[in-house]
A and B are shown apart, each in its own frame.
Chain A
Amino acid sequence: MLTWVALLALVLFSGTTYVAARRKVSVAAGGLPRNMHSLPGYYGAYVALWTGAPAAFLVLMAALFGGRLEDALLKVQPPAAVAQLTHAEQQVFFDDVRAKAHDLQASETVYEGPLGVALAAKTAQARQLELLINYGAVAAAAVLALSGVFLALRRIRPDFRARNKVESWVAGLFIICSITAILTTVGIVASLVWESIRFFQAVPIQDFLLGREWDPQIAMRSDQYASKGAFGAVPLFAGTFLIMIIAMIVAAPIGLFSAIYLSEYAGGFSRAVVKPLLEILAGVPTVVYGFFAALTVGPIFRTGFHALGETMVGGPLNGVGLYLMAVQNQMALVAGAVMGIMLIPFVSSLSDDIINSVPQSLRDGSLAMGATRSETVKKVVLPAALPGIMAAMLLAVSRAVGETMIVTMAAGLQAKMTINPLDTVTTVTVQIVTLLTGDQEFDSPKTLAAFGLGLTLFGVTFLLNVIALRIVQKYREQYD
């Protein structure tokens, strides 16, 4: 609440300084813009920015990190009674202190004797600290704003280069935005790495990367069966790879050929119809593909294989027939095929862009030699676009590897090392979902394994993307 009031006040105040600065420079220049270096608005903006921006930044920081600061200050020199507690108990104590200070739901722990006294004392201190931080921040912001006005207004003269100064503010804004994006990425990776390190303390990294058995069940009690669990990620990557291959077998030719059709053959009308339709396909949420796979494609495939198997049973292919009659809805083929369909628009729109960027002069050259359209595509356009198309395929692979919803619904949970597309397999992403949904213990390798898997998956897709972007860059240099 205080934050909002302070921000509103700042906006109003900087608005006033904007007007004041404009007026000052106009008066100094005799009211003639041609006597000024910049347009009057720039002088106003310059002063308003120096007034509002640093102060607003301070207020926002206080709102975001004030709680943490308060927490940190509270923990300095804990009372003797508290210092004797274990780390976890201290944590609960301080959480309760803050809960009581801010009228939130506290734990049901009962604090007696010296602890009760300490709790009361700390609660009072927390209230004081909160006020101190909040009002301190507002006061500091006010000082900042006032000094901003003072310093900036003093510099306002008609020959002052306000336009250039405002320009650097704008540049700064863009830089901050891009840094935010980068920092977020760094944060995500850091948290992955951090939790993964904890996981690899419990499970040796070579067992994880090279182990051929995946069974992350860990017993609640030590005397239960399967008390250890197995964390070999190879079967998961094998399953991921199998599904990815099936998906690419579907998506690569269909996507590429439809891109060729769109860019080389389609007339204005069919392009106007087909392209938006493909884009609709790209807009279907993956969860919809997921239940399409699980509820429609899976049963159709199973019924088909059962019928095929029935014709074989009793014949020379009796064994194959019996196998086909036993296949389940959940198989790698279904998940892969549907994932392939999902990737078609992705592949085709990337390839379309790349094929379109092949200069028309090359096509003209080939056609003028008496080549047909398909010869031109095959011998000139595709070779020229090949690096870009490879990159598009790699990006599609990296999407296939990271895709979660379809495989969760259609692939299965059983980790197997198989290349049989009719078998149930599981993927890295499916296992991450299973490990992190439901009850979690953040000190058990079972939960932490998700981070190990996530980090490895991230490594794989990151590598694929880097290679793909490298190829695209190299390709661009050829024609630009």
Chain B
Amino acid sequence: MNQRQFPLPPRHRDDDGHAAPTMHIAVARTPDTAQGAGIKIRARDVNVFYGDKQALFDVGLDVPEKAVTALIGPSGCGKSTFLRSINRMNDTIPGCTVRGRIELDGEDVNDKSIDPVVLRARVGMVFQKPNPFPKTIFENVAYGPRIHGIATGKAELEAIVESSLKRAGLWNEVADRLHQPGTGLSGGQQQRLVIARAIAVSPEVILMDEPCSALDPIATAKIEELIDELRNQYCIVIVTHSMAQAARVSQKTAFFHLGKLVEAGSTGEIFTNPRDSRTQDYITGRFG
């Protein structure tokens, strides 16, 4: 890898897309390539500010392709902030500035040449609270394909909706009521609907911000099962408060604390043999 340093702030630097700084990289571990997949997202020196308050400090993380990466850590540690900087959702928050480099397939997402609208079609997102639009189930899933002009005809759109709902494991439950409001579904169904909506535009990455925190255990189990299936096709990054969930669904885990990335590595390693004492304390429930 062609490594070189450049002065801060590197945000709008027009780079060739392969450069990455080596300064202040909190994670010194080699990316785990246990799954044999490449690196999908490479973050270096990410600093995020909400006005004057700094929320992330020099975060560097590699997110592997076709695997689930879990971000864990106590509340307010910056894991959601990091997640939202990957698809530039932080742009929508007034006063929020992101510095550093986040590469998606080697391209800096904060580069001027990147259109956040296109980026967000490539990087889907699922939120904490299910947020189906006040439209029918069909229209919810068809939303992305429609605005991006993915389907050329009605039949194709219907096919996309059907396959997305099937992949989200919701088809059998809603096939006979596609034209009823999506808001009428149960919480767990709504969350799967939102996942179907996200995968309808065939994203490469799916970001999940505590997708199960508003759900009951049964719905949670279903979503986790779904995440496990989806990992064969997508790069998934999930923020979770539940360490058990992180252990169950993820292959890689990153532990954040007070805006800093403390440690990242394969999930098995983090949970059985953490290097940092803070990680140890957190996963054994001593704080957080």
Which A residues have a C-beta under 8 Å from some C-beta of B?
267-268, 359, 361-372, 375, 379-380, 383-384, 478
Contacts and interface: CB of A to CB of B under 8 A. Distances in A.
A480 to B, nearest CB: 13
Contacts of A368: 87, 89, 120, 124-125, 127, 198
B133 A365 contact: yes
Contact of B147 (A361, A364, A379): A379
A370 B143 contact: no
Nearest to B146: A379
B133 A371 contact: no
A220 B285 CA distance: 96
A365 B131 contact: yes
A380 B143 CA distance: 10
B134 interface: yes
B194 interface: yes
Given A370-B118, A370-B121, A478-B134, A364 B92 contact: yes
B133 A380 contact: yes
B237 interface: no
Contacts of A364: 89, 92, 125, 127, 131
The bracket for how many chain B residues form the interface is 20 to 34
A384 B131 CA distance: 12
B178 to A, nearest CB: 18
A267 to B, nearest CB: 7
Nearest to B145: A369
Given A362-B133, A379-B147, A371 B117 contact: yes
B194 A365 contact: yes
B147 A384 contact: no
A371 B131 contact: no
Interface centre among A268, A363, A371, A375 (most CB of B within 10 A): A371
A370 B120 contact: yes
Contact of A361 (B92, B131, B144): B131
A375 B135 contact: no
Contact of B121 (A362, A365, A369, A478): A369
Interface in B70-111: 87, 89, 92, 94
B92 A369 contact: no
A347 B220 CA distance: 44
A180 B75 CA distance: 51
A435 B120 CA distance: 65
B117 A478 contact: no
Contacts of B92: 363-364, 367
Given A369-B143, A370-B148, A361 B127 contact: yes
Interface in B128-148: 129, 131-135, 143-144, 147-148
Given A267-B94, A268-B94, A478-B183, A369 B147 contact: yes
Interface string B195-218: 001100100000000000000000
A375 B147 contact: yes
B275 to A, nearest CB: 34
Chain A interface SS verdict (over half): helix
Interface in B262-287: none
Contacts of A367: 89, 92, 120
A369 B118 contact: no
Contacts of A383: 133-135
Nearest to A375: B147
Contacts of B124: 368-369
A197 B94 CA distance: 61
A371 B117 CA distance: 6
Rank and list the top 3 A-B pairs by shortest CB-CB distance, nearest first: A370-B121, A368-B125, A361-B131
Given A364-B89, A364-B92, A369 B131 contact: no
B55 to A, nearest CB: 18
Contacts of B117: 370-372
A479 B11 CA distance: 39
Interface string B142-156: 011001100000000
24 contacts: A267-B94, A362-B131, A364-B89, A364-B125, A365-B127, A365-B131, A365-B194, A367-B120, A368-B89, A368-B120, A368-B124, A368-B127, A368-B198, A369-B144, A370-B121, A370-B144, A370-B148, A370-B201, A371-B147, A379-B143, A380-B133, A384-B134, A478-B134, A478-B183
Contacts of A478: 134, 183
Nearest to A386: B134
Given A371-B117, A372-B117, A366 B143 contact: yes
Contacts of A359: 131
Contacts of B122: 370
A318 B208 CA distance: 70
Interface centre among A363, A365, A478 (most CB of B within 10 A): A365
Interface centre among A268, A367, A383 (most CB of B within 10 A): A367
A476 B147 CA distance: 28
A389 to B, nearest CB: 14
Contacts of B194: 365
A362 B197 CA distance: 13
Nearest to A378: B147
Interface string B169-186: 000000000000001000
A383 B183 CA distance: 14
A281 B129 CA distance: 39
A362 B134 CA distance: 9
A366 B148 contact: no
Given A369-B121, A478-B183, 5 more contacts: A362-B133, A362-B134, A368-B87, A368-B198, A369-B143
